Structure 1
């Protein structure tokens, strides 16, 4: 039996440690931002704290576009991953040292930028290890890699979550920095196993391209500085206003990207690529709605656990951040089951059908959350942890029906002229969903259980609406019509 490439262990180990740092910080970030200054926190309001966490997640995925571009045109994937890991580590160190608000905001920015450099490129390098191998072995390699991601997420949530919440916020951030440092050490030591994967940029910049890049970076820097200066001069510079601007950016950029492909670069999209891109656009929107629900785990759900859930278990008080670990643990337990199920079902269940199912189930998770909120009787009663376990179970089922399927779908629907950019574009659906969710989460303190019910029903309605057009989307995607899936081509009732 053939073994997997040695480099898989290096890349999986790097991503495992990066997820320890990323999810470890997510476990405590909203709690740190909302904690009183006397308790070592930032003393921000609940709405502002959840908005910042949502935008932190959004910008981490948004940064994958420039991160992928830098790897393709300047540094190559291998060096970009190394630079990204160093930037992430410096970001956590900035958060760990107690030298004022500037180091907090600077640390968050560094983590976002570093994640954008590291995540898409380390994932792409896994595929390059199997360049001359079969699809089945490549899929198996990615399954092992996905398992490492979730193991790292769980470790980070448990370890950093406990230390940050129980011992010290800043020590918790320091442990996250240590996790990334260990990932960098394993990455550097394992370089020989990577062969030529990601060694050089795929399309190096010409001298003219480099001059243009420097010019646009300079223009961008001037615009940002001018905007900040004008905002400060007019008294409109605030944390909340910055979040509004960044949310608009996360939503507008994908829209401009689609306009660029459909209108400006339409001559580069040939044959049936245009219809496939149309299908991709609708599934992109569905993905954004899903992530708007899912990634509130780091904000509103963690605060609900902190204030409204009985976290005492046999005399031990469970840190609120630990509740987020239910998701990666469940992914580890169920990912094999879902992989087997999709294999058995084959073409009988299409990608649009899986997306539709994921939206409905994710929506039902928030309908359950509304019931859990109602059970607190206005915050006077602490409810059982089983409510949140049920919510995370539904979210995990939805995730396994959409997230890995979406990555596979993107590679199949990508126009040839945009093949290298489409994965970054799909990550923008996460960024857009997280950004919108960041602002919507401000309503939770006001609406309570109605907030969860409204978002849940929105996702359910979107899922049902998507199901009505499964047949049309399959035609756009140019999927083969077979007897076993012919019935699915008709709109669902």
Structure 2
């Protein structure tokens, strides 16, 4: 987008920022409300008894489905970013994505069993892939590269994300668990609908930001892309038909396929960038330095991304839900992540500024993040070790675990975003950011297999083993810091 299409620097109507930021802030807040609202009750809907409105699936399969859902959501951003850049433009991609998300939630407002669930997941995955990366890019389009308000604008925007994630478990979770799951999914759909109304009414405030594709397909390219898409769809249809005929089209087959894809996709991305003639020697060295960071991020997200599966199950089946004399729904514990983020993010931002040049190097921060992430899981082995797995655990174990894991996130997640932009080859700036988000997809793919091992009799060993493995990765990262720094090509 040219400099002339940026919003005027004199536009300070929203807390000193462009009015368009208010539109995107509330759109993203309500989108995250719908996403985390569904996530708050999805696991319980999957394994709850059919007589209570659930699908009656076994707990290991339910946890694995929650993980592959997360993996597909993270992977879909690649497709959504490409479609916006080449076909729709960011503004239309956001609108279409929001409509698909709303329809996905609506698919679960009526009892439709497993088919309705799969349709819902497909719509939400595609919709989130269209909306999530592009609404963030639109925020950047509101500011010129030299506008000093840009970083603060993103900080406000991310407050909207966490506000939506914070509210969702209390509203959607309570309605879904106390009255009915389908009503809960309906409230999630309503949240997305409110976000779409806000977006439709406020689109004029965005100026021309994201109005057209940045790199539209030419006529010849459209035919080529159309042929490739047709071939891809045909191969997929044939594969599904063969699996159906042979009796192999099962939930477990879907889980296994997504697990493999989630791991292979980022590996293919890295190999492609390393082998590209557009990557020079210095950039190749930086990419090699990035590989341990990427693998460290995968290890960390293996723990963090189990909040909607294993930790949600622990909250529901193993936790004393009476707090200060009040019985609380188990879904409320999923608000702990955004609460901790809202409290700790400014604290760690102040800490890094305070330390200045004395702050740890990027790989060292990753090592700290991994040690804290692993420690949060080792901590969860405590209730079983001290009191056995048949006694209900104090809710403060979960509170402490979430606090520790988010401390780890503050050392790794924003630092990883920064390192990704600094170590990216110039020809792959946007794709490198997609690669960073694929670390979460790979972790969810691994989790789809891992979480199936969690059950009461394995609880202590599961938490201690996974936590210790992640902490060991932190020790390895600490030892590799000098090697990584030498290959970062002068980047700190």
TM-score (norm 2): 0.94
Q: Partner residue of 2:42? A: 29
- Using the alignment, how far apart are the partners of 2:35 and 2:369 within structure 1? 25
**Contact 1:71–1:77 under 8 Å retained in 2:** yes
What pairs with 1:229-248 in structure 2 (closer than 5 Å)? Answer: 229-248=241-260
Q: Partner residue of 1:488? A: none
Secondary structure of the 2:107 match is: helix
What pairs with 1:81-160 in structure 2 (closer than 5 Å)? Answer: 81-134=94-147, 136-160=148-172
Structure 1, 191-200 or 283-292: larger mean CA deviation: 191-200
Give 1:370's match in structure 2, choosing from 381, 386, 389.
Answer: 381
**Contact 2:423–2:491 under 8 Å retained in 1:** no
**TM superposition shift of 1:326:** 0.8
**TM superposition shift of 1:376:** 4.5
**Contact 2:288–2:487 under 8 Å retained in 1:** yes
Deviation per CA, 1:313-358, whole angstroms, max 9, x where unpaired? 2442211111111110111112111111111223432221211111
- Using the alignment, how far apart are the partners of 1:88 and 1:326 within structure 2? 24
Q: Partner residue of 1:461? A: 472
- Using the alignment, how far apart are the partners of 1:279 and 1:8 within structure 2? 36
Q: Which runs of 4+ in 1 moved over 4 A?
A: none
Give 1:326's match in structure 2, choosing from 320, 327, 336.
Answer: 336
**TM superposition shift of 1:384:** 0.8
- Using the alignment, how far apart are the partners of 2:129 and 2:81 within structure 1? 8
Give unmatched runs, 5+ long, in structure 2: 1-9
**Contact 1:95–1:173 under 8 Å retained in 2:** yes
Q: Partner residue of 1:436? A: 446
**TM superposition shift of 1:214:** 1.2
Matched, 1:470 2:472: no
Q: Partner residue of 2:4? A: none
Secondary structure of the 1:448 match is: helix
Give unmatched runs, 5+ long, in structure 1: 482-493
Matched, 1:449 2:460: yes
Q: Partner residue of 1:288? A: 298
**TM superposition shift of 1:453:** 0.7
Give 1:215's match in structure 2, choosing from 224, 227, 231.
Answer: 227
Secondary structure of the 1:210 match is: helix
**TM superposition shift of 1:271:** 4.4
**TM superposition shift of 1:42:** 0.9
**Contact 1:35–1:42 under 8 Å retained in 2:** yes
Secondary structure of the 2:149 match is: helix
Q: Partner residue of 2:354? A: 344
**Contact 1:309–1:383 under 8 Å retained in 2:** yes
**TM superposition shift of 1:479:** 3.4
Q: Partner residue of 1:74? A: 87
What pairs with 1:270-419 in structure 2 (closer than 5 Å)? Answer: 270-347=280-357, 348-378=359-389, 380-419=390-429
Give 2:211's match in structure 1, choosing from 168, 181, 199.
Answer: 199
**Contact 1:275–1:476 under 8 Å retained in 2:** yes
- Using the alignment, how far apart are the partners of 2:223 and 2:155 within structure 1? 41
**TM superposition shift of 1:34:** 0.5
**Contact 1:60–1:116 under 8 Å retained in 2:** yes
Number of residue equivalences: 477
**TM superposition shift of 1:148:** 1.1
Deviation per CA, 1:249-286, whole angstroms, max 9, x where unpaired? 111111111111112x2x10024111111122221111
